[in-house]
Amino acid sequence: MDAQSPVIRRYGTAASQEAAALIRAGGIVAVPTETVYGLAADACDSAAVARIYAAKGRPAFNPLIVHVRDLAAAERIAVFDDDARALAARFWPGPLTLVLPLREGAGIARLVTAGLPTIAIRVPAHRAMQDLLTQSGAPLAAPSANASNGISPTRAEHVAASLGAAVPLILDDGATAAGVESTIVAGRTILRPGPVTAEMLEEVLPVAAGTTAQVSAPGQMATHYAPRKPLRLGALVREGDEWLIGFGAVAGDDTLSADGDVVEAAARLFDALHRGDASDRTTIAVAGVPHVGVGVAINDRLRRAAHR
Ligand code: TXA
Ligand code: MG
């Protein structure tokens, strides 16, 4: 192992135990969730949480999502109302993050919430993250495991490329299933669209799509999720030397989904952007993706990625 490369371990009992030991010792570990790979630390250990911010180069005012094993663990940290309980009952474990009042005396490091009176919390559906939660016995703060403002990682190799030796251990369990970050809901407002779509939420309670100005959620910063190269959206054909990422009938150097399936496109989105960044072309273009279902989340991430 050279100094620039992190250790990548294939998911399994030994790797999980090694990761949990690192967490209990106050360290950080990159671990897959069903959305994207996260960079995890014990949410009650402020020094450990500080290591996440340091590894990502993340502004300290940007609060982190806390991952817990189940609803009971979540209720020890956050104050649930009937709406929140209904959403949790329907969508947990799964890619939904709830922003709720932080419970007093919950023991969460202040750095996790960046001083906010609320906390973003979710119960992930991925076996590797669930094992890490069980074996470390701690709530885990985990932002996406990429350098701040970089593209979210959907594969262990993306984490290694973005964070390098800043992360000592990456649990590798292949490509993530959903491919875009969790839906974030505060009250009845969607702060960040994601795999749990507005239509799905509406089956439980009425929600307002769109963001709320009053919460400082840096995932809403216009330039979040940016690849290094300029990005052109809604492309029908390649212009100049562009790396064209197709969708449906628009073919390219790569495609989000040849069948025009938005769920497949979400799962492939960040990988496709990573490949475009790594290509020999100077610009990336992406075909239009319909604004339906998780297509709303895809277009949200693409709009931010294209913004300079
Ligand atoms: O799918 C995901 O959510 C992934 C995986 C690893 O779980 N995590 C993730 O974390 O995307 P991160 O840190 O990249 O994005 C967390 C978002 C940020 O936009 C942050 O501002 C927002 O959640 N957030 C955290 N706490 C908040 C709070 N109390 N109120 C409003 N927004 C909050
Ligand atoms: Mg992120």
Q: What is the mean pLDDT of residues 188-197?
A: 96
Q: What residue's CA is closest to ligand 1, atom 13?
A: 143
Domain membership of residue 150 as a residue range:
7-209
How far is 89 from 183, CA to CA, in rounded Å?
A: 15
**Angle, in degrees to the nearest 10, between helices 262-278 and 295-306:** 20
Average pLDDT, the chain: 92
Question: Which atom of ligand 1 has the smallest separation from the CA of 97?
Answer: 3
Query: Are residues 56 and 164 located together in one domain of the fold?
Result: yes
Residue 188 falls within a domain, yes or no? Answer: yes
CATH code of the domain covering residue 52: 3.90.870.10
Residue 103: name the closest of 139, 133, 78 by CA. 78
Paired with 189 in beta bridges are: 186, 208
Which residues sit with their C-beta closer than 6 Å to ligand 1?
33, 35-36, 38, 62-65, 95, 97, 99, 113, 116, 118-120, 142-144, 181-182, 184, 191, 215, 217-219
pLDDT band at residue 114, thresholds of 50, 70 and 90?
confident
How far is 136 from 138, CA to CA, in rounded Å?
A: 5
pLDDT exceeds cutoff 90 at 79: yes
The predicted pLDDT at position 4 comes to 67
Number of domains in the chain: 2
Query: Percent of the chain, pLDDT > 90?
Result: 81
pLDDT band at residue 5, thresholds of 50, 70 and 90?
confident
CA distances from 139 to 58, 80, 173, 195, 217 (A): 20, 17, 21, 23, 21
Residues 87-113 pLDDT 10s:
999 999 999 999 999 999 999 998 899
The predicted pLDDT at position 225 comes to 62
Which residue, 150, 178, 209, sits at the end of a domain?
209
How far is 79 from 71, CA to CA, in rounded Å?
A: 11
Query: Are residues 263 and 146 located together in one domain of the fold?
Result: no
Residues 11-40 pLDDT 10s:
999 999 999 999 999 999 999 999 999 999
